[in-house]
Amino acid sequence: MFISLNYLIFLTAALVLYYIFPYRYRWFILLSGSILFYLSISFRTLPLLILIVTVSYFGSLLLEKNKSRSLFFVICVLLLLPLLLTRTFSRITELSIFAPVGVSFFTLQIIAYLSDVRSGKTNVERNYLKYLLFISFFPQILQGPIPRYSLMEDLCKGHSFDEKKIIKGFMLITWGFFLKLMIADRAGIFVDTVYADIERYGGTYIFVAGILYSLQLYTDFSSCVCIAKGSAEMFGISLPENFSRPYFSGSVKNFWRRWHISLSLFLRDYVYIPLGGSRKGRIRRYFNLMATFFVSGIWHGGGLNYIFWGLLHGVYEILEELLKSTWERIGIITGFHGHRRLKRIINIFITDYFIMTAWIIFRAESLSKGLKMLWNMLTRFNPWILFNDSLIMDNFETSDWNILILSGTVLFLMGLLQEKGVNIRERILGYPALLRGSLYMGAILVCIVFGEYGAGFEAGSYIYAGF
């Protein structure tokens, strides 16, 4: 996985080989690297990945030639669908299903590609090895972002060495390590402790765990995306954005434009719009919305808690729209309507609160446990634990809180700057070399010393790798 010394060594070797080989062979270095990477993380499932890619490759060729494209496309999707449902099936049957790593991500990628071939938006790729690279490109195969076919040209181009891109990629990777080691895995300790004993930790404990889980999930997933994007950038390749500071959203609708963007776009383009989108009246639109979120819930694992979480987001969006005018009126009556900044802050807090409550269910082992936790959080009154030493646990000490709060503050300030349109990496690039070098070294040393990791610099696995 990305957060390991092995990955950094692998990436360095791949970069060296990429840039010392002539341009026309560079895509082949990427392909070899991707296969090697996949072999190293899932030796047993590589043949399955190759099989899926091969089947979909011939599928795309046939799809291009076949006259009844829609029917053929449906057949292809039906063939791929079981792959998306492996986790759901595994959960229901409690069987260990033999599925390739990253299957949920690259299956969506294949479906999107086939759909674009069917609709004629894109040409079919005839070079099998290049198609294999498109699906298996190592920075994105584990957890996305789910790319579109436009990536193909970027992958096969053979980019020239660009110092600026190398440094920018390096910065993004360092930031990814920071998010994972300083925030995600540390917050996870507290979250796991509370979730492991919900009888003991109720009320405000669950509220705090909910906040920390929101932070953990975001930084965990975002870390992986940063490292993926940073790695790709070092090869001169641009991967799509997957996050845009989601917890700065003033509405749930806006949240989904900022959270897991590549999945949201996929669901919009290949589920919501084909169902009719917002073109067929309000009731149908609400139905389409609920259906889309239902699919999202299924994609995340198919457990009832995931489906409930997805549907809850659908309900949030619908209620948000229905209550929009009421909320505006409340704003006018109370007077905060005129204060744009205050209004935005209140909207952000309310949005984040509801998203957090949905995450509590998402994280729970089952829907019943999730609902029980929510009920417990709302009915058990113990806010004093915020002011005494109750939040300090055997495995989560004061130093952990200090690191988490400090790192969270850094994350918040970075987000705030980005919200104001500041391109932080470009700004750092403008600093004198000595200052930049010190910043990089300081950041890495902070992660090494204060980070939460175990044997051989291996951090905990990524949460989204399980979806």
Site residues (vs another protein, CB under 8 A): 5, 19-22, 161, 163, 166, 397, 399, 433, 437, 440-441, 444-445, 448-451, 453, 455-457
DSSP-based three-state secondary structure for 396: strand
In single-letter form, the type of residue at position 455 comes to: A
The torsion angles phi and psi of 393, rounded to 5 degrees, stand at -115, 175
What is the smallest separation between the CB atom of 2 and another protein, expressed in angstroms?
Answer: 17
Token code pair at residue 62: 């046939």
What is the smallest separation between the CB atom of 404 and another protein, expressed in angstroms?
Answer: 14
What is the smallest separation between the CB atom of 166 and another protein, expressed in angstroms?
Answer: 8
> Contact at 8 Å (CB) between 312 and 289?
no
The torsion angles phi and psi of 279, rounded to 5 degrees, stand at -85, -10
Question: Of the two residues 79 and 441, which places its CB atom closer to another protein in the complex?
Answer: 441
What is the smallest separation between the CB atom of 212 and another protein, expressed in angstroms?
Answer: 20
DSSP string, 286-319: HHHHHHHHHHHHHHTT--HHHHHHHHHHHHHHHH
What is the smallest separation between the CB atom of 12 and another protein, expressed in angstroms?
Answer: 11
d(CA 231, CA 452): 22
In single-letter form, the type of residue at position 17 comes to: L
What is the smallest separation between the CB atom of 445 and another protein, expressed in angstroms?
Answer: 7
Question: Of the two residues 382 and 399, which places its CB atom closer to another protein in the complex?
Answer: 399
SS (H, E, C) 80-102: HHHHHCHHHHHHHHCCCCCCCCC
What is the smallest separation between the CB atom of 405 and another protein, expressed in angstroms?
Answer: 15
Question: Of the two residues 20 and 196, which places its CB atom closer to another protein in the complex?
Answer: 20
- Nearest alpha carbon to residue 198 among 371, 358, 359: 371
In the block, residue with structure tokens 């300790």: 189
* DSSP 8-state symbol, 393: B
Q: How many CA atoms lie within 13 A of 342 on its CB side?
A: 8
Question: Of the two residues 163 and 199, which places its CB atom closer to another protein in the complex?
Answer: 163
Question: Of the two residues 165 and 229, which places its CB atom closer to another protein in the complex?
Answer: 165
What is the smallest separation between the CB atom of 8 and another protein, expressed in angstroms?
Answer: 12
Token code pair at residue 335: 């007077």
- Nearest alpha carbon to residue 189 among 352, 404, 390: 404
Question: Of the two residues 271 and 459, which places its CB atom closer to another protein in the complex?
Answer: 459
DSSP-based three-state secondary structure for 394: coil
Q: Which residues pair with 266 in a beta bridge?
A: none
What is the smallest separation between the CB atom of 26 and another protein, expressed in angstroms?
Answer: 11
- Nearest alpha carbon to residue 454 among 11, 5, 10: 5
Question: Of the two residues 62 and 443, which places its CB atom closer to another protein in the complex?
Answer: 443
Question: Of the two residues 16 and 81, which places its CB atom closer to another protein in the complex?
Answer: 16
Question: Of the two residues 294 and 457, which places its CB atom closer to another protein in the complex?
Answer: 457
Question: Of the two residues 28 and 440, which places its CB atom closer to another protein in the complex?
Answer: 440
What is the smallest separation between the CB atom of 169 and another protein, expressed in angstroms?
Answer: 13
The torsion angles phi and psi of 290, rounded to 5 degrees, stand at -65, -40
Neighbours of 382 (CB within 10 A): 13
The torsion angles phi and psi of 270, rounded to 5 degrees, stand at -115, -5
* Residues near 232 by beta carbon (within 8 Å), at least 6 away in sequence: 137, 139, 140, 169, 238, 239
What is the smallest separation between the CB atom of 194 and another protein, expressed in angstroms?
Answer: 22
Question: Of the two residues 189 and 350, which places its CB atom closer to another protein in the complex?
Answer: 189
The torsion angles phi and psi of 230, rounded to 5 degrees, stand at -65, -45
Express the helix, strand and coil content of the chain in percent, nearest 5 each: 75, 0, 25
